[in-house]
Amino acid sequence: MIDLLGQFDNIRFYLLGPYPKGDIGGLALNIILTILAISFSFIFGALLGYSRLSCRRYIKLPCMAYIEIVRATPLIMIIFWMYFFLPYLVGGHATIISSAVVSLSIYAAAYQAEIVRAGILAVPRGQLEAALSTGMSRYGAMRHIILPQAFRIMIPSFVSFFVSLFKDTATVFIIGVIELTQAGIIISQRDPDKMYAAYLSMAIGFWCICFTMSHLARRLEKRVGVFDLESIRPDACRDEFMLLPKQKKTGEGIEESTACAPEKPV
């Protein structure tokens, strides 16, 4: 415990890396990388996901290929490829941060595309028909009717992907980016006796941000979810969404309910 408190001396390095003497790093860099990658990949992914729904094969197939290939590739491969190839692509000079951002964006776009596609498909067909039948254009129906609903449907998957991408930014330590993991490794190597304390500090850093994001997301979900009173609230417990009667706290009753519960609730 005392040792863990000792890590406070290094807190600036955990949070900001070599900054202000050098480039910004540490936990701040993980956050920056996540935000940049999420933003780029959101635009790219939304386009991909939307085009993937096209009826035209020459639009649909390349998008499908991209999505399937990227999703079947470990992130670390993409990071290595971009680390070696990006300098060729841009003609010589590319910082490790930019190859990190590019590879994370490439990776995230494939997942975001699927989230967007699933969200759009989850909006009932009757919504589009209703909008078209009032004389709205396809574009207008998309913008005012389909996308706002798709967006609300997407929130839970989008948030869980956001959180997992944040954790995945740790992977870029492999090409020498001094984000939280790399910062922790550097500290632990300075003082190998306190290795465990360094790794514990990194974990706490990641946990704090992830927890905060999930918490904010639940609140957002509740707020935009008001239009659909029939759906299950994000904070519902199992008995509520399985429509089970309130359980008495006897062991027997609880066992009974789990016994007849299907494996996976919808």
State the minimum distance, in angstroms, from the CB of residue 136 to other proteins. 6
Three-class SS of residue 179? strand
Closer to other proteins by Cβ: residue 52 or 152 = 152
Q: Which residues bind other proteins (CB under 8 A)?
A: 124, 126-127, 129-137, 140, 144-145, 148-149, 152, 226-230
Q: How many residues does the chain have?
A: 266
CA distance 229 to 236: 13
Distance of closest approach, residue 42 Cβ to other proteins, in angstroms:
21
Cα 197-30-219 angle, rounded to 5 deg: 100
Shortest distance, CB of residue 10 to other proteins, whole angstroms? 48
Q: What is the three-class DSSP state of 85?
A: helix
Shortest Å distance, C-beta 151 to other proteins: 9
Pick 126 or 262: Cβ nearer other proteins: 126
Given the complex with other proteins, which of 59 and 128 has the nearer CB atom?
Answer: 128
Torsion on CA atoms 153, 159, 165, 170, rounded to nearest 10:
-170
- For other proteins, the closer of residues 62 and 124 by Cβ is 124
Q: Output the smallest distance, CB 231 to other proteins, in A.
A: 9
DSSP string, 210-231: HHHHHHHHHHHHHHHGGG-TTS
Strand partners, 154: none
| H or E, element range at 72 | none
The nearer residue to other proteins, 125 or 246, going by C-beta atoms, is 125
